[in-house]
Structure 1
Amino acid sequence: MRVHVVSDVHGAAEALARAGDGADALICLGDLVLFLDYADHSRGIFPDLFGAANASRMVALRTAKRFDEARALDRELWEGIDRRGAIETAVRKQYAELFAAFPAPTYATYGNVDIPALWSEYATEGTTILDGATAEIGGLVFGFVGGGLRTAMRTPYEIDEGEYAEKVAALGRVDVLCSHIPPAVPELCYDTVARRFERGSEALLDAIRGTRPKYALFGHVHQPLVPRMRIGRTECVNVGHFNATRRPWALEW
């Protein structure tokens, strides 16, 4: 059995259409939407609306952790614009293309920049959406936990620690623990290019220590200090920034 795993697709629909080639199934760990590309400031919803120069300003402020100034710039640019309507229109356009690219079968959960309420409108019959739920694939039990925890970035699908922990607990024992964000291990959470720690989950770390799955798979941290490490018997793997690599991570058994 061979499964391909991707995360942080961020608009790479053409590559996503090939991500399942040679695999029995595809797993997607979220962040389909491309709002602002930190590597190419001309790509994404934000520069489409406000131009690459303003995108560069926003990236610089966020990278410097000047979040109050970033929010002030955000308010200035959005003044007089129907923010919710403009974003939803752009996201819908991306989702239509991205969900059409999923092979069958695909098992997917949400990232922190995704809008869960829209997914059911675009998911085809071959795509199973899971969040705080499990699926059996090739005789192994895969558990899925979507979204991220609260941060100063205020991305669309950030939830409280308690709600996130409830989703993790609902899985019970699994062979493969799949999430968008990593467990709360500093080496797995530090982004060497953004030069900051992303939020990891203590609940995921507790589940790894307590239930000892064979694998814990995640994304979210685009340029991790450590992409892979073992915690007890569990192999913890950042499956990669698919928007940059265009390559899925493969799991075979």
Structure 2
Amino acid sequence: MRVHVVSDVHGNAEGLAKAGEGADALICLGDLVLFLDYADHSRGIFPDLFGVDNADRIVALRTARRFEEARELGRSLWAGLDREAAIEAAVRRQYAELFAAFPTPTYATYGNVDLPHLWPQYAGPGTTVLDGQRVEIAGRVFGFVGGGLRTPMRTPHEISDEEYAAKVEALGEVDVLCSHIPPEVPELVYDTVARRFERGSRALLAAIEKTRPRYSLFGHVHQPLARRMRIGRTECVNVGHFAATSRPFALQW
């Protein structure tokens, strides 16, 4: 059995259409939407609406952790516009292309920049969406936990630590623990380019230590200090920033 795993697709529909080649199934760990590309400020919903110069400004403020100034810039740009309607229309255009690129079968969960309420409208019969749920694939049990934890960035699908922990608890023992964000381990949550610690989950770390799955697979941190490490018997793997690499992680058994 060969399963390909991707995360942080961020608009890379061309790569996604090829991600399942040679595999029996595809797993996607979220962040399909491209709101703003920190490597190329001309790409994404934000520059499409407000131009590259404003994208440059907001990236600089966020990188400097001047979040209140970044929010103030955002408020001034959005003034007089229907923010929710504009974002949803842009996300719908991206989702139509991205979900059409999923092979059959695909198992997917949400990232912190996704809009989960739209997924049922775009996920076809070959795509199974899971969140706080388990599925068996060729004799191995995979558990899925979607979304991110609350941060000053205030991305669309951030939830409380308590709600997130409840989803992790609902999985019980699994062979492969699949999540968008990593367990709360410094080497796994530190982004070497952004030069900051992203939010990881203590509940995921506790589940790894308690239930000892074979693998913990995740994304979210685009340039991590460590892409993989062991916690006891569990191999923890950041499956990569698919938007930049177009390379899936291969899991075989």
Shorter-chain-normalised TM-score: which range?
over 0.9
Question: Over aligned residues, Cα RMSD in angstroms?
Answer: 0.3
Aligned residue in 2 for 1:16: 16
Structural mapping, 1:1-253, within 5 Å: 1-253=1-253
List structure 1 runs of 4+ shifted beyond 3 angstroms: none
Q: Deviations for 1:69-95, whole angstroms, at most 9, x for unmatched residues?
A: 000000010011110000000000000
The letter for the 2-side match of 1:134 is R
Q: Deviations for 1:101-150, whole angstroms, at most 9, x for unmatched residues?
A: 00000000000000000000000000000000001011100000000000
The letter for the 1-side match of 2:251 is L
The letter for the 1-side match of 2:247 is R
State the secondary structure of the residue aligned to 1:141. strand
State the secondary structure of the residue aligned to 2:61. helix
State the secondary structure of the residue aligned to 2:18. coil
- Aligned residue pairs, count: 253
The letter for the 2-side match of 1:180 is H
The letter for the 2-side match of 1:95 is Y
The letter for the 1-side match of 2:29 is L
The letter for the 2-side match of 1:176 is V
Cα distance in 1 for residues equivalent to 2:171 and 2:40: 37
Cα distance in 2 for residues equivalent to 1:249 and 1:57: 34
Q: Gapped runs of 5+ residues in structure 1?
A: none
State the secondary structure of the residue aligned to 2:250. strand
* Shift of residue 203, structure 1, vs aligned partner: 0.2
Cα distance in 1 for residues equivalent to 2:248 and 2:58: 29
Cα distance in 2 for residues equivalent to 1:206 and 1:85: 39
Structure 1 length-normalised TM: 1.00
Q: Deviations for 1:29-68, whole angstroms, at most 9, x for unmatched residues?
A: 0000000000000000000000011001010000000000
Cα distance in 1 for residues equivalent to 2:21 and 2:77: 42
Cα distance in 2 for residues equivalent to 1:204 and 1:125: 29
* Shift of residue 241, structure 1, vs aligned partner: 0.0
State the secondary structure of the residue aligned to 1:194. coil
Cα distance in 2 for residues equivalent to 1:105 and 1:136: 13
* Shift of residue 153, structure 1, vs aligned partner: 0.3
Q: Deviations for 1:134-184, whole angstroms, at most 9, x for unmatched residues?
A: 010111000000000000000000000000000000000000000000000
Cα distance in 1 for residues equivalent to 2:140 and 2:58: 43
Cα distance in 1 for residues equivalent to 2:59 and 2:239: 24
Cα distance in 1 for residues equivalent to 2:251 and 2:7: 14
Percent of pairs with identical residues: 79
The letter for the 2-side match of 1:47 is P
Structure 2 length-normalised TM: 1.00
Q: Gapped runs of 5+ residues in structure 2?
A: none
Cα distance in 2 for residues equivalent to 1:60 and 1:226: 25
The letter for the 1-side match of 2:56 is S
